[in-house]
Chain A
Amino acid sequence: GDSVTQMEGPVTLSEEAFLTINCTYTATGYPSLFWYVQYPGEGLQLLLKATKADDKGSNKGFEATYRKETTSFHLEKGSVQVSDSAVYFCALSDRGNDMRFGAGTRLTVKP
């Protein structure tokens, strides 16, 4: 079945460092890809999405490009802030109801 694999955390960075969180997927069809962010004790918030190959999703300085050839959707940010500390989830949806999530990557940004 469809699945998502994220790089294991936790990830600890200093403020203004460059962030990459790797995400690869396995899917039989042509899924939409998502990054969600979860702050402590809260639900998930949609951060960005891409619905077809070569699409780039972007929001709040975060970016991810849908790479069909490498089945990847890596999350990047050029300069992280302390407020970016959270858990990040990569997810895919091939048929709407069948959304699959990665295990999540905890990011801590230190001042």
Chain B
Amino acid sequence: DGGITQSPKYLFRKEGQNVTLSCEQNLNHDAMYWYRQDPGQGLRLIYYSQIVNDFQKGDIAEGYSVSREKKESFPLTVTSAQKNPTAFYLCASSLTPLTGEQYFGPGTRLTVT
């Protein structure tokens, strides 16, 4: 089955710690994306990557970092510089950067206390 996996589903961290969220896809998609979702709000773009070894900041990149060393993988690190990291994080991919249709993973709920 092709799809996007995110792990873990729930993640708990203490304030001041960096944490890395995993995102893997086996759809052979070129483009990958990270979004943040807060209660009652739409999705906000954190970072996106069009090809391996390249990525761009989205609307709310401060306090986050990413890497794209493999086509299948696009991990997101939430650093201690992110002031309000508790949120639901969604990873998505699309066949090409110009393809509007995006496919989403199941999400990771991060709680920082």
Which A residues are within 8 Å of any B CB, using their own CB?
A: 4, 31-32, 34, 36, 41-46, 49, 51, 89, 93, 95-97, 99, 101-104
Contact = CB atoms under 8 A, between A and B. Distances in A.
B48 interface: yes
Q: Which of A49, A101, A103 has the most CB of B within 10 A?
A: A101
Interface of B: 4, 6, 31, 33, 40-43, 45, 48, 50, 56, 90, 92, 94, 96-107, 109
Nearest to B58: A97
Given A34-B101, A46-B103, A102 B96 contact: no
Contacts of A45: 104
B79 to A, nearest CB: 23
Contacts of B31: 96-97
A51 B101 CA distance: 10
Contacts of B48: 97
B100 A103 contact: no
Contact of B101 (A42, A46, A89, A104): A46
B41 A96 contact: no
Given A42-B107, A44-B90, A96-B94, A104 B41 contact: yes
A96 B90 contact: no
Nearest to A98: B45
Which of B6, B94, B100, B105 counts the most chain A CB atoms within 10 A? Answer: B100
A34 B100 contact: yes
